[in-house]
Amino acid sequence: MGTIWLGTSGWDYPEWVGRVYPPRDVSDRLGFYAQRFAIVEVNSSFYRLPRVDVVASWARRTPKGFRFAAKFPQTITHERRLERTGEELARFLAAIQPLRDAGKFAAALVQLPPSLTFEPRRTRAFYESLPVDLPVAVEFREESWLDPASFDLLREFHLAYVIIDEPVLPVRVEVTAPFAYVRWHGHGHPTWYDYTYSTAELASWVPRLAQLSAQVDTVYGFFNNHFRGDAAVNCERLRESAGMSAPSWSRRIDA
């Protein structure tokens, strides 16, 4: 069975103070987060690339066994729409290099815009531009990407299909790479992420995670329902429901 890593999408949320972080807050939220979870998905890199020295500090401030995933910047996915991305890709790779050097990098996430439809030639050209040694997961946000030809391209380039739980596209447990990648967005209305997963909903994911871990060496999973700190609490409860051990350095969040 493969190893399952569960965390949240982002960690620096003011509304987590009092539920995830102490009421008086802490000076190092990442360090505090890393006492409870073994992995985090860097969401802020989508909006603005962090400085290299900041990323290097993330590596220093987390335990040896901690891992990071990082989202591709929106300049690549939403502005350039996967075309003529060489310069932006180079900047992204430079930004995450300290995590790779520290052995703490898990995967890079390509979150596609809902307005972008699947086009095989454009998609192939973008996939060909990615470093072959960079683990990459691709999240579809539009139905045409569920075309079999799209999945064939993921498999050809060993890119992971992001298994999503959200209101628009169906849950599809599909393995296209040596690792699996799952994201729980929630089912809030009108805002997906304003959502609390029930015990039953979390339990329904236990067999799916078992199915994935039987097919790949590594499964990464991230809760993105960050309102009120629900992502952290739901993540920990799923971990417990699945009978998974917390990191050796972990302490439980009191919900």
pLDDT at 252: 53
Q: For residue 253, tell me if it sits in a domain.
A: no
Sign of CA pseudo-dihedral 233, 12, 50, 32: negative
Tell me how many domains the chain contains.
1
* Rounded Cα gap, residues 61 and 93, in angstroms: 21
* Confidence tier at 255 by pLDDT (50, 70, 90): very low
* Confidence tier at 251 by pLDDT (50, 70, 90): low
Amino acid at 40: V
- Residue 149, number of CB atoms within 10 A of its CB: 11
**Residue 36: half-sphere exposure toward Cβ, Cα within 13 Å:** 22
- Residue 224, number of CB atoms within 10 A of its CB: 21
Q: For residue 246, tell me if it sits in a domain.
A: no
Q: For residue 81, tell me if it sits in a domain.
A: yes
* Strand (E) or helix (H) holding 39: strand 39-42
pLDDT at 40: 98
Q: For residue 189, tell me if it sits in a domain.
A: yes
Q: For residue 79, tell me if it sits in a domain.
A: yes
Q: For residue 247, tell me if it sits in a domain.
A: no
Instruction: Report the candidate in 144, 176, 160 with the shortest Cα–Cα distance to residue 222.
Output: 160
Domain that holds residue 15: 3-241
Q: For residue 89, tell me if it sits in a domain.
A: yes
Q: Is residue 107 within 8 Å of residue 183, measured between CB atoms?
A: no
pLDDT at 191: 95
Please tell me whether residue 115 adopts helix, strand or coil conformation. Answer: coil
pLDDT at 55: 98
CA angle 15, 32, 70 (to 5 degrees): 80
Instruction: Report the candidate in 141, 110, 149 with the shortest Cα–Cα distance to residue 126.
Output: 110
CATH number (domain holding residue 76): 3.20.20.410
Reported as a single tens digit per residue, the pLDDT across 127-182 is 999 999 999 999 999 999 999 999 999 999 999 999 999 999 999 999 999 999 99
Reported as a single tens digit per residue, the pLDDT across 27-83 is 999 999 999 999 999 999 999 999 999 999 999 999 999 999 999 999 999 999 999
Q: For residue 254, tell me if it sits in a domain.
A: no
